């Protein structure tokens, strides 16, 4: 948790950005967010049945070209 | 918290867990509501006036107690155990769903909520919700999968006649899971005035517990009725399982009777071998959906897969968390019945007893038919006839190639 608390203890309010994995080029998106000044990135995993994920889109037929697999 | 080995009836623990299952996996927006609901439920449980009002409505509005019926001709046809039915299909609205709706609407009113929402699969819970909303004068929105709207059209019309707004849900395969998603999303957006009446023993704590408690009127009555009629308890209880509320309602009061065996029947659809079934316990594995941890039909990434069953009420890729725990403890056995077997059982009950069952309990009847033959004639099977089949005649006609 130290890195996270560090992100919130800068002189300016922390910029927290949400992006969905698999929505375009994920690696490029993450790099761009860092370069653009994001202090914290929330990486959303697309799910078939999101409950209250705000901008996280539903995984549905035709929406993603390939099934998104998860490798940690 | 370790479960007390002397009883199966004291679940869940204070955090809503049945062993590893259950819990409260919800967005932060819903946490205050879910905690409020638990507090209100505990207060209601301790309030004799709440119980009195609940009992009064069950008796005079719903028509309880439901009969305990010995199916003489079916028993003869099967040639084995005596087959008895708990006839919750005779309740007002034609299924067991209303028991739970009465309890939840009383809770909603205690909490000062002014708007009711619900999900529905076969439409029985939607009809029961619309019914209690009309009875108490509350506006009502029912979410129903578009596919279910099509295959259970009589129920859709009934809901509208009762004053409810029916919202067809087109995401996913347009069935129960998708309706429940929309219900939860509506709730997240309308926490201040809205009460979500969940129709089965699933969802975030305290729903699985309170739904089971409201439905356990079924088993409490049945236990007393059996003792009255034949001076003994059944050897085997059988019930169909979608989310699992009718089964828990029948089973729970008997859980500490060690000689009473229990069989939960899931929907095997086109067979457990392929993907076209809705048997979460037999064909799935643990994950999180709709606010609880339980057995789900899912892929290796945790994406929920679509199930299939001819019966809308069993077509759910999850199961109430208490069943997941009961399966792990071995107290309840679980099996599955295909669409074809359910259709045969549907017709069997029509012809031997003059009762048209819903397709959901037809799965239980099919399992009863298999077991009865293997059991001695002095043994007793009690099955839950949790709904009547008027809503299913169009679907059955279609499957049998009959034009109405």
Mind telling me how many Å the CA of B297 is from chain A's nearest CA? Answer: 12
Q: What are phi and psi for residue B169, nearest 5 degrees?
A: -110, 125
Does residue A32 form part of some domain? yes
Does residue B5 form part of some domain? no
CATH number at residue B353: 3.40.50.1100
User: Is B172 close to A60, i.e. CB distance below 8 A?
Assistant: yes
- The mean pLDDT of B35-40, rounded to a whole number, is 96
Q: In terms of DSSP bridges, do strands B333-338 and B261-269 run parallel, antiparallel, or are they unpaired? A: parallel
The range of the structural domain enclosing residue B274 comes to 65-94+216-399
In this prediction, residue A66 carries a pLDDT of 44
Does residue A29 form part of some domain? yes
Which residues 2-61 of A have a C-beta within 8 angstroms of B?
A: 47-52, 58-60
pLDDT of residue B4 exceeding 60:
no
> Hey, which residues does B165 pair with through a beta bridge?
B141
Does residue A25 form part of some domain? yes
Does residue B49 form part of some domain? yes
Domain boundary among B183, B211, B239: B211
- The mean pLDDT of B104-133, rounded to a whole number, is 96
Does residue A68 form part of some domain? no
Domain boundary among B211, B236, B261: B211
Total domains in the fold of chain B: 2
Please check whether residues B90 and B167 belong to one and the same domain: no
Mind telling me how many Å the CA of A35 is from chain B's nearest CA? Answer: 30
Cis peptide, bond prior to residue B329, ω within 30 of zero: no
The range of the structural domain enclosing residue A27 comes to 2-44
Q: Which of B2-6, B48-52, B148-152, B212-216 has the lowest mean pLDDT?
A: B2-6
What is the per-residue pLDDT across B48-97, written as a single tens digit (0 to 9) for each?
A: 999 999 999 999 999 999 999 999 999 999 999 999 999 999 999 999 99
- The mean pLDDT of B351-362, rounded to a whole number, is 98
Please check whether residues B271 and B347 belong to one and the same domain: yes
Please check whether residues B233 and B322 belong to one and the same domain: yes
ipTM of the complex: 0.77
Alpha-carbon gap, residue B61 to B215, rounded angstroms: 16
Does residue A13 form part of some domain? yes
Does residue A54 form part of some domain? no
What is the per-residue pLDDT across A3-58, written as a single tens digit (0 to 9) for each?
A: 888 889 989 999 999 888 888 899 999 999 999 999 999 998 888 887 765 444 45
* Radius of gyration over every alpha carbon of chain A, rounded to an integer in angstroms: 14
Could you give the C-alpha distances from A55 to A31, A51, A70, B302, B310, in angstroms and in order? 20, 11, 20, 20, 34
Does residue B207 form part of some domain? yes
Give the chain B residue nearest A50 (alpha carbons): B181
- The mean predicted confidence, pLDDT, of chain B is 95
Does residue B387 form part of some domain? yes
Does residue B323 form part of some domain? yes
What is the per-residue pLDDT across B181-240, written as a single tens digit (0 to 9) for each?
A: 999 989 988 989 999 999 999 999 999 999 999 999 999 999 999 999 999 999 999 999
Give the chain A residue nearest B184 (alpha carbons): A51
User: Is B302 close to A51, i.e. CB distance below 8 A?
Assistant: no
In this prediction, residue B31 carries a pLDDT of 92
Total domains in the fold of chain A: 1
Contacts of B298 (CB under 8 A, 6+ apart): B284, B285, B287, B304, B305, B317
Please check whether residues B40 and B104 belong to one and the same domain: yes
Does residue A7 form part of some domain? yes
């Amino acid at each position: 948790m130290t890195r996270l608390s560090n992100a919130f203890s800068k002189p300016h309010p922390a910029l927290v950005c949400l992006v969905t994995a698999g929505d375009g080029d994920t690696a490029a998106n993450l790099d761009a967010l860092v370069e653009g000044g994001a202090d914290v990135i929330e990486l959303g995993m697309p799910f078939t049945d999101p409950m209250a994920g705000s901008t996280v889109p539903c995984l549905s037929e035709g929406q993603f070209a390939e099934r998104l697999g998860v490798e940690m | 918290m370790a479960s007390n080995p002397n009883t199966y009836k004291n679940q869940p623990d204070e955090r809503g867990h049945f062993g590893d299952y259950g819990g409260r996996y919800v967005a932060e927006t819903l946490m205050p509501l879910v905690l409020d609901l638990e507090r209100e439920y505990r207060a209601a449980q301790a309030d004799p006036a709440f119980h009195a009002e609940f009992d009064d409505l069950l008796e005079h509005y719903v028509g309880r107690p439901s009969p305990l019926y010995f199916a003489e001709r079916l028993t003869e046809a099967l040639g084995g155990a005596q087959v008895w039915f708990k006839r919750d299909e005779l309740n007002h609205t034609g299924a067991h769903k209303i028991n739970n709706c009465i309890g939840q609407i009383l809770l909603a009113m205690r909490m000062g909520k002014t708007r009711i929402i619900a999900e529905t699969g076969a439409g029985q819970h939607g009809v029961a919700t619309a019914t209690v909303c009309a009875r108490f004068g509350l506006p009502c929105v029912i979410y129903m999968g578009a596919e279910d709207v099509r295959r259970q059209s009589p129920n859709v019309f009934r809901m509208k006649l009762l004053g409810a707004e029916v919202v067809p849900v087109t995401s996913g395969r347009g069935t129960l899971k998708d309706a429940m998603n929309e219900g939860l999303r509506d709730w997240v957006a309308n926490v201040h005035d809205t009460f979500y009446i969940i129709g089965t023993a699933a969802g975030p704590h305290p729903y699985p517990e309170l739904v089971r408690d409201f439905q356990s009127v079924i088993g409490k009555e049945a236990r007393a009725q059996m003792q009255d009629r034949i001076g003994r308890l059944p050897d085997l209880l059988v019930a169909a399982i979608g989310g699992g509320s009718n089964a828990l309602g029948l089973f729970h009061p008997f859980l500490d009777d060690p000689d009473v065996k229990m069989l939960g029947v899931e929907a095997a659809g086109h067979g457990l071998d392929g993907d076209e079934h809705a048997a979460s316990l037999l064909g799935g594995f643990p994950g999180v959906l709709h606010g609880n941890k339980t057995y789900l039909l899912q892929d290796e990434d945790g994406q929920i897969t679509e199930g299939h069953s001819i019966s809308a009420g069993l077509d759910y890729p999850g199961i109430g968390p208490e069943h997941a725990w009961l399966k792990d403890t071995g107290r309840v056995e679980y099996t599955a019945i295909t669409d074809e077997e359910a259709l045969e059982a549907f017709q069997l009950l029509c012809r031997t007893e003059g009762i048209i069952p819903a397709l959901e309990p037809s799965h239980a009847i099919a399992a009863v038919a298999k077991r009865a033959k293997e059991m001695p004639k002095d043994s007793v099977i009690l099955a839950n006839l949790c709904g009547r089949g008027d809503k299913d005649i169009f679907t059955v006609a279609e499957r049998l190639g009959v034009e109405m």
